[in-house]
Amino acid sequence: MILVLGGEHSGRHDFCRSMGVAAADCRTVTADDARDFVAEHASCPAFSSVCCRIASYRAVIATETGLGIIPADAASRAEREANGRLNIALASLADCVVLVVAGVARVIKGSRAGQERADWQLLVFRHGATQANLARRYAGCMTDEDLCAQGREQVARARERLAAFAREVSPAVREQMLSPRVVYVSPLRRAVQTAELLFPRAERRVVADLREMDFGLFENRTADELCADPVTDAAYQAFLDGGVSWPPSAVSPGERVADFRARQAAAFAHIVREQVAAGDGTHLVTVIAHGGTQMALFSQFCPWQVGGAGIDPYYAWQTPCGGFRWGRVVTAGVS
């Protein structure tokens, strides 16, 4: 996404036309967008629904109001503050930021040449709940359960939320988001059933490496059970104190976080190569898998700068069961 900043009548729209951006691929930021963004109180731009919808366009035009005289009344100052905060958020997500003054464009972030690469996007659903999820068990790749009734209700609501979200994204993204040709699915039943409910007409391709993390000794057990068992209490406390590996059991080797992230990244790279080979213009990858998949993929391919102490960008990406994340892939070289 390219963000084009400037004052009113500075030549921003002419610049976008000179870049060959069609009107349908261009979004002009409004005062309502700014007010909605501030009202969201999102912890970072990538978690803001306003920013995500706007960033789905190839080019975004925003007004730079911070260079003029400070307004005398409080309402106008608040409006300018909201405008500035949204511009900052969008600039952090943009591949390229251009400032246009009197028709002259100056790149202030990134490169215009970078806009020629494929604009990949990622949509990842977490499956609906199972009985293990309701019991707050560590349900990893060794626990294969069906969706429970509550989980099926969550998936139905997820479809409704997706439709509402898609109404305000770019038309090109909207079509692929609501009617994907192919969806990529974890082999575990809870993910397959979620995919069947979400996108019954899409081709479902099962990718083995999209399965959930192997929790080893902690598999399918609750925190209370682990703490109450003398065999697992010490190991669980050590894990909570900063362990990065799940301890092995007799039937499960456990998996390091780093190995899990690498497995998920390799699966995503395979999917991208497959879509490139298909050559059908699809650049939105839709995945139905697990909370761990959300954390692993978005923390590696849609990274954001931590805005405050104590925020872990890996764990922050996970949604509740039935939730979804959408983002633009910003890691260089993925395609």
Edge-to-edge strand list for the sheet holding 324-328? 203-206, 182-185, 284-289, 121-126, 324-328
Please report the pLDDT score of residue 117 as a whole number.
55
In which band, very low, low, confident or very high, does the pLDDT at 28 lie, cut at 50, 70 and 90? very high
266 pLDDT more than 70: yes
Q: What is d(CA 17, CA 166) in angstroms, rounded to the nearest whole number?
A: 25
36: number of CA atoms within 13 Å, CB side? 12
C-alpha span between 288 and 161 (Å, rounded): 15
Q: Which residue has the higher pLDDT, 104 or 240?
A: 104
Half-sphere exposure of 258 (CA within 13 A, CB side): 3
pLDDT confidence of residue 74: 86
Q: What is the mean pLDDT of residues 292-306?
A: 82
Average pLDDT over residues 226-235: 89
Q: Which residue stretches of 128-256 are H helix?
A: 131-134, 149-166, 171-178, 189-198, 223-228, 230-240
- Judge whether residue 248 has pLDDT over 80: yes
How far apart CA 199 and CA 149 sit, in angstroms, is 18
Q: What confidence category does residue 239 fall into, taking pLDDT thresholds of 50, 70 and 90?
A: confident
pLDDT at 306: 43
Summarised one tens digit per residue, pLDDT across range 249-260 is: 888 888 888 899
Structural domains present in the chain: 2-116 (3.40.50.300), 121-214+255-328 (3.40.50.1240)
Which residue would you say has higher pLDDT here, 208 or 43?
A: 208
CA dihedral 263, 257, 251, 130 (to 10 degrees): -90
Give the per-residue pLDDT at 309.
41
Averaged pLDDT for residues 189-194: 98
